[in-house]
Structure 1
Amino acid sequence: MPAAISDDRPVRWGVLGAGSIAGTVCSDLRLTSGNVVTAVAARDADRAAAFAAEHGAARSYGSYEDLVTDDEVDVVYVATTHPNHHRQALLAIEAGKSVLVEKPVCLHAAQAREVFDAARAADVFAMEAMWTRANPLVRKAQQLAADGTIGEVRHVRASFGIGVPFDPTSRLYDLANGGGALLDLGVYPITIASLFVGLPDRATWSGTLSPTGSDETVAVQWTAAGRPTAQLMFSAAVVMSNDTVIGGTEGFLRLESPGHRPSGLTVSVGGEERRIEDPLAGHGAGYTPQVEEVERCLRAGLLESPLVPHADTVAIQELMDEGLAALGVVYPQDR
């Protein structure tokens, strides 16, 4: 077990990458009482310096190697695009640093296994930044489902589509940058569905590819024991309702749009509905529970979070690998 971080000092974060997601997460991180942004690195030293000034980091680097060897960094947040996660997470782990790696944790399941195996061998904490699993309304829905509020849970319907016009240079359509609806958007409905009905015995995939060969719109139906358990759809090009409905034998739960970071939770049983408000409303973008979960694990000396276990992350990546193969998506890194 790694040495726990004591309660008498903040958890010190190093941020690897200075893009928009890094900025949003760091803004939320600064809303927590037990965490501080200590250092940031980017390929462009000037960009790293500007990011550090904006988020109160004491140091900035134009080298990722310099950040991971900073003795005053406890945990590295890998906030780059998916094709870089594997190499950069291993870089931090080899330097003895714990890691929070943006979703999806890697391009493929084999890489994810390598990252988590390396973290365990190095006795450091590692977690995919699947903030949805720490969201209080998602956790409330799990509790209600487990308590039998809607009877036996039988089905999940979820969508995530954002309507971005085709642009070969866009991150969503650029294969070399891990582009595609499945890894960038679909990971959320897949993760949510798995929380309520488990992963499927069989998944049937269909979809369309963009001119660059990235997956543009994807639909998947899950079955378990011969019974349909989930219908999920995600798209880079099409605007969708982006909510999640968990169906039971006596009622349903609806995670209001966007389902991966719900704005409310509707509970419908016996024709009567009640709404549970979002406890994170007005308090940042919604990443604080994820940051606080990492902090909790580091202070407890854990190697992985019970909310985002390594085995679940790998299993979902395995399912997405299956989907990519069924759709005919091949990344340049795989050729």
Structure 2
Amino acid sequence: MPEPETEDAEIRWGILGAGGIAGKFATDLIRTPGNALAAVGARQGERAAGFAARFGAPRSYGNYRQLVDDPDLDAIYIATTHPGHREQALMAIEADKAVLIEKPVCLNAADAREVFAAAAAARVFAMEAMWMRTNPLIRKAQELVAGSAIGELVSVRAEMGLGLPFDATHRLYDLANGGGALLDLGIYPVTFGWIFLGPPPSVSVTGSLAPTGCDATVAMQWSYPDGRDAQLWCSAPVKAPYRALVVGTEGWIRPEGRFYRPTALTVMIGGLESRIDDPLGSDAGGYGPEIAEVARCLRAGLTESPLIPAADTIAILELLDRARAELGVRYPGE
């Protein structure tokens, strides 16, 4: 993997894919000091060129192989849909490029293990783009819980419902394209529960399927021997607030707005309520912290981030794999 010449060297990024999430990422990337968008690759050359012109990237490529083979890139952000992540990440790793892979990192845990094993063998940095885990307010909430600010942790709740009516042609309902609520939506509540409670020894899963066989709505109950629990819910067709709550014996913490990218934290301790405002500001997309974390790791010579370790990413996908299996959801080729 190319190494920055100095601790302050600019990290040169390539973006693989030119869809909506790529655009949001690029918007924050060019605002993040010490990082530069150097190239973009898409399956159509005109699409890549248009994206590059929009965000000021000096180079564009009409296929992914040319992008990852660009010798003047330090890191590749993989912004495609998850069925392609395994192949694209392995291609970038083979080309000696660090990879930031959009969540979910792969279609299933087996593919994720292969990607992270390849990165470790090549001594190349790899990380899932679970931006929520780098968000300063989420990290503050973790700090408060770890410091027993709300007493002993009792329960975590998180839910998100997209409200997308069933459409067999839409990606979220297409099994061949990794469709379903769990991988696109549920990964957020599950990760939120995980970062506060850790791996659950007991998981109950209920849900419903779309006519195409995808998971449409899924509810999970996590139980721990000491009495702690989590209630986690996601739905593609049902509209619901993207809300979460962390409850302790002496208070609670509530992320305001969408819990994975909160606008503030409300903290209730001993009957007294306080508010912690978003240090990123309202005009920031929220991807800056994960971009900065990748850059920090590359400058430090790390092959994974302590904020989003590969072991956690794989274990969370194993949970989602088991939940899908209980619901009878199986992707082609699995």
TM tier, smaller: over 0.9
Q: Does 1:242 align with 2:217?
A: no
Q: Give the CA deviation at 1:255.
A: 1.2
Q: Deviations over 1:272-322 (max 9, x none)?
A: 211111112233211100100001001111000000001100110111110
3-state SS in 2 of match to 1:205? strand
Q: Does 1:195 align with 2:195?
A: yes
User: Aligned partners of 2:153, 2:101: CA distance in 1, in Å?
Assistant: 31
Q: Is the 8 A contact 1:5 1:300 kept in 2?
A: no
Q: Deviations over 1:141-177 (max 9, x none)?
A: 0011111110011210110111011111212111111
Q: Deviations over 1:93-126 (max 9, x none)?
A: 0111110000000011111111111001111100
* Map of 2:89 onto structure 1: 89
* Map of 2:218 onto structure 1: 218
* Map of 1:41 onto structure 2: 41
1:1-335 alignment runs, 5 A limit: 3-225=3-225, 227-334=227-334
Q: Deviations over 1:182-237 (max 9, x none)?
A: 00011011111111111210110000111111111110000111735100100111
User: Aligned partners of 2:59, 2:219: CA distance in 1, in Å?
Assistant: 44
In the alignment, structure 2 segments of 5+ residues that lack a partner are none
User: Aligned partners of 1:89, 1:115: CA distance in 2, in Å?
Assistant: 7
Q: Give the CA deviation at 1:4.
A: 4.8
Q: Is the 8 A contact 2:18 2:42 kept in 1?
A: yes
* The 10-residue stretch of structure 1 (122-131 or 4-13) with the greater mean CA deviation from structure 2: 4-13
User: Aligned partners of 1:292, 1:232: CA distance in 2, in Å?
Assistant: 29
3-state SS in 1 of match to 2:231? strand
Taking only aligned residues, the RMSD between alpha carbons, in angstroms, comes to 1.3
Q: Is the 8 A contact 2:200 2:224 kept in 1?
A: yes
Q: Deviations over 1:31-85 (max 9, x none)?
A: 1111111111111110000001111111111111111110011101111001000
Q: Is the 8 A contact 2:39 2:52 kept in 1?
A: yes
Q: Is the 8 A contact 1:5 1:11 kept in 2?
A: no
* The 10-residue stretch of structure 1 (39-48 or 221-230) with the greater mean CA deviation from structure 2: 221-230
Give 2:302's aligned amino acid. Answer: L
User: Aligned partners of 2:86, 2:231: CA distance in 1, in Å?
Assistant: 30
3-state SS in 1 of match to 2:150? coil
Give 1:254's aligned amino acid. Answer: R
Give 1:174's aligned amino acid. Answer: D
User: Aligned partners of 1:38, 1:58: CA distance in 2, in Å?
Assistant: 6
User: Aligned partners of 1:215, 1:130: CA distance in 2, in Å?
Assistant: 21
3-state SS in 2 of match to 1:285? coil
User: Aligned partners of 1:270, 1:282: CA distance in 2, in Å?
Assistant: 30
Give 1:202's aligned amino acid. Answer: S
Q: Give the CA deviation at 1:2.
A: 7.7
Q: Is the 8 A contact 1:156 1:244 kept in 2?
A: yes
3-state SS in 2 of match to 1:12? strand
Q: Give the CA deviation at 1:241.
A: 2.0
In the alignment, structure 1 segments of 5+ residues that lack a partner are none
User: Aligned partners of 1:120, 1:45: CA distance in 2, in Å?
Assistant: 32
User: Aligned partners of 1:258, 1:166: CA distance in 2, in Å?
Assistant: 23
Q: Give the CA deviation at 1:332.
A: 1.6
TM-score, structure 2 as length reference:
0.97
Q: Is the 8 A contact 1:17 1:80 kept in 2?
A: yes
3-state SS in 2 of match to 1:297? helix
Q: Give the CA deviation at 1:8.
A: 4.6
**Identical columns (%):** 57
Give 2:308's aligned amino acid. Answer: V
User: Aligned partners of 2:228, 2:208: CA distance in 1, in Å?
Assistant: 22
Give 1:133's aligned amino acid. Answer: R
TM-score, structure 1 as length reference:
0.97
Q: Is the 8 A contact 1:5 1:301 kept in 2?
A: no
